[in-house]
Structure 1
Amino acid sequence: MRLRPIYLAIAVLLLLVLAYTAWWVSAAQQLRRTVAEMTATEEALGNHISPREPSVGGFPLRLALRLDQMEWRRPDGMALIAGGVEAWARPWNPLTIRLDIDGNARLSLPPGPSHPPAILEAKAGEGTLLLDGEGQPKQAHLTLTDPVAEIPGITGSLKAGLLDLTWTKPAVPPVGPGAATGTLNLLARTITLPGRVLPPLEKQITELALQAELRGILPPNPDIAALRGWSEAGGTVELTSARLLWGKLDLRGNATLALDANLQPIGAGSAELSGSDVLVDMLVQMQSLKPEQGQAVKTALGFLSQQTPDGRRAVRVPMTIQDRRFSIGPIKVGMVPEVKWD
């Protein structure tokens, strides 16, 4: 008689295990159906997806979907290829989806008649996708290890030790041409520049961090006409904060970016600049300034610099991008690569 409570507890436990197992199997079947519907939609648009039937597993603590030798291609040449991708969620928290990328991943943007595709590659990566109560994405986060980028207009590859991206959907749906449609946070570390770098600038950038807010509504797959319409309607990118650590150069600021009539980036903002002597020395190396002129500029910037709360000496300077020229104050730092949209 004393064993009956034990038998009852075991029976209840078995029923719970069976119920959970049945629920997990049902959820896995629903996941397969959802993926099949998404695949059919993509193929109806002319896109290629492989494999068509991913594996589903992770029982009992995860509900996971895995794609080995994944490939997604659009007719315009845009493609995403990865050795392996796994998306998974805890059964008790289905609105938080984790992403693991193993094997080399490669994203190719559409090429144009006059330029090759822009390419981003990474050895591995991980991310998180947060969904709202209706199952719609509200935030996406992705971290890539050892990314390499090939950008039209730049000779050679840009390499970094880390690239971290976060896209956040606005809490309030955008209304009107100037409404905020999303916020991007970008962090890149240990960026190795291609080609020759003029001294005293270094070949490696320590860190680039920025937060940008997109204003104006763009279609999901914008073409040149859509970009022009977005620009003419007042579409901008508000760079709310940015920081560039490049050797002794420390640049922090904000700016408003837009597109000109040729769909090339233009912008204006302000920055706190520490280590301005580096830029002056570079201009002397370029023979844009004579040595005595460079020394005079250094002296003037020294008088204009002020102590910052964190102990740096910094000078407040304007930043501009006009006709593809990037200038910090009166100093032309370099040319912005031409963006080829066709």
Structure 2
Amino acid sequence: MCPQGASGGSSGLARRCGGGCTGGRMRAIGLTSMDRKPPSRLPRRLLLLLALGLVALGAGHAVLWRGMANGLEQGWQVWVQLRRAQGWRVEHTEPVRGGWPLSATLTIARVRLEGGATTLPGGIALTATPVVLRVSLPWLDRLSVELPGQQRLRLGAAEFPFAADMLTATVPLEPDTPPSSAELRGERLRIGTPAGGVEVRSLMLTAAGSASATETEPALALRLGAEGVELPAGSGRGAEALGRSIQSLAADLWVSGPVPPGRAPAARAESWRDGGGTLELRSLALRWGEVAAQGAATLAFDDALQPMGAGTLRISGAVAALETLAEAGVVGRRAATTARTILPLLSRPSAETGVPEIEVPLTLEDRVLALARIPVLRFAPLDWPSVGPR
């Protein structure tokens, strides 16, 4: 350390310090410079690897999306060819791809499907504008069929235009295997009918089929759920009496027995009946005005190929509903008088809610629906198309 107050000028100061001050400072500077490490190249390599990874990921995603879009278009073309081979007439506009990056879509601006004359006199026709086919990541094993616009369904001579805020069918995708199940969901579905417009706030329908079903297995299982059903003004006196708003409806149906081949509906129905085929209403739940009902039934065809069957029905609010129907003239006076006597005797408090309810048998025979042996409704005869040999 240099002494303070040293004399002898600058040269003497330098000699007396022996170069200690300047040399030490230079050595300190030299050590500081030597301690500094050259800048690392690791961050640059990480950034380069990250950029390469993003490029590879983007390229892989592009290849995956292209494969999804190609699969959609190929599947659509196969479906069209199969329908045409079955005798259906299929017309459609050129498909347009889209949906990138999270889904692959195929939009067909207009599709018309027409045929089914052997099933229904006058045939069946569906005009959809548009149809959107969609496969989304990561559910590559599901196909969504969306109907976002105005659609039109013709059954025979009756036209049913319909539209919805959301109407989507979902089917599983299996290699080289036709879909065995489907799910349909809708919101604010509006349907035009000959009697007027029907609106359904929410709808859910699932279907599962099996071509190899035996007599004791369901060849087709259907499950329906609907809420907020608004009936048209021309629904009939019964609907007007109970109210045009059905709060909720749920049903679970099984079509059992092997489905026979053939093109003639009457011949197929006869073979299905002779093979032990039945339509089993496994459960029914209905809330309509003051009426809450639950039931189950089994239906089949009689010798004249008309529906017949039996079941049970549990009803709460039956007495009030009977009075309403009687006032509207839906139920005859004699039947109403008999029911007023019988129904209170059959009422029991519900084990779940404590509300009085009745459990009564249902029968359908000779096109007459009877509730506790009281005829309440007569159906028009089922007219089978006279197509193909019986």
- TM bin, normalised by shorter chain, reads 0.7 to 0.9
Identity %: 25
Q: Which runs of 5+ in 2 are unaligned?
A: 1-40, 118-122, 386-390
Segment drifting more, 296-305 vs 320-329: 296-305
Quote the residue 1:166 is aligned against: 206
Q: Which residue of 2 aligns with 1:78?
A: 124
Matched, 1:33 2:74: yes
Query: Any residues of structure 2 matched to 1:233-244 within 5 Å, and which?
Result: 233-244=275-286
What's 2:140 paired with? 94
CA distance, structure 2, for counterparts of residue 38 and residue 13 of structure 1: 37
Counterpart-to-counterpart distance in 2, 1:278 and 1:133: 55
Q: Residue in 2 aligned with 1:289?
A: 333
- Structure 2 length normalisation: TM-score? 0.75
2:308 maps to 266
RMSD of aligned residue pairs (Cα, Å): 2.8
1:128-207 mapped onto 2 (5 Å cutoff)? 128-131=170-173, 135-144=177-186, 145-148=188-191, 150=193, 156-157=195-196, 159-162=198-201, 163-169=203-209, 174-188=212-226, 189-193=228-232, 194-198=234-238, 200-207=241-248
Partner Cα separation in structure 2 for residue 102 and residue 69 of structure 1: 12
Structure 1 Cα separation of the partners of residues 206 and 262 of structure 2: 18
Aligned counterpart, 2:31: none
Name the residue aligned to 1:103.
149
What is the alpha-carbon distance in structure 1 between the residues aligned to residue 354 and residue 95 of structure 2? 55
Whether the aligned pair in 1 keeps the contact of 2:258 and 2:275 (CA below 8 Å) is no
* Structure 1 residues 230 and 328, CA gap change in structure 2 (3 angstroms): same
Counterparts in 2 of 1:304 and 1:27: CA distance versus 1, 3 Å: closer
Alignment of 1:276 onto 2:315? no
Cα deviation per residue 1:26-52 (whole Å; 9 max; x = unaligned)? 332233233223323333333222325
1:105, 1:121 within 8 Å by CA — same for their partners in 2?
Answer: yes
Deviates more, 1:79-88 or 1:128-137: 128-137
SS in 2 for 1:137: coil
- The equivalent of 2:364 in structure 1 is 321
Point out the more displaced range, 38-47 or 251-260.
38-47
**Who is 1:56 aligned against?**
97
**How far has the Cα of 1:21 moved from its partner?**
0.7
Pick from 252, 271, 274: which aligns with 2:294? Answer: 252
- State the SS of the aligned residue for 1:73: strand
Shift of 1:285: 5.3
User: Is the Cα contact below 8 Å between 2:256 and 2:278 reproduced in 1?
Assistant: yes
Return 5+ residue gaps in structure 1 as ranges: none
Paired residue secondary structure (1:256): strand
Alignment CA distance shift 1:30-1:165 (3 Å): closer
Which amino acid in structure 1 is aligned with residue 217 of structure 2? Answer: A
In 1, the alpha carbon distance for the partners of 2:57 and 2:236 equals 66
1:280–1:264: structure 2 CA closer, same or farther, 3 Å change rule?
same
Structure 1 CA distance for aligned equivalents of residues 383 and 111 of structure 2: 28
Q: Does 1:330 align with 2:330?
A: no
1:96 alignment partner AA: R
**Distance of 1:4 and 1:340 partners within structure 2:** 79
Structure 1 pair 30–274 and aligned structure 2 pair: CA distance change class (3 A): closer
TM-score with structure 1 length normalisation?
Answer: 0.84
TM-aligned CA distance change 1:143 to 1:26, over 3 Å: closer
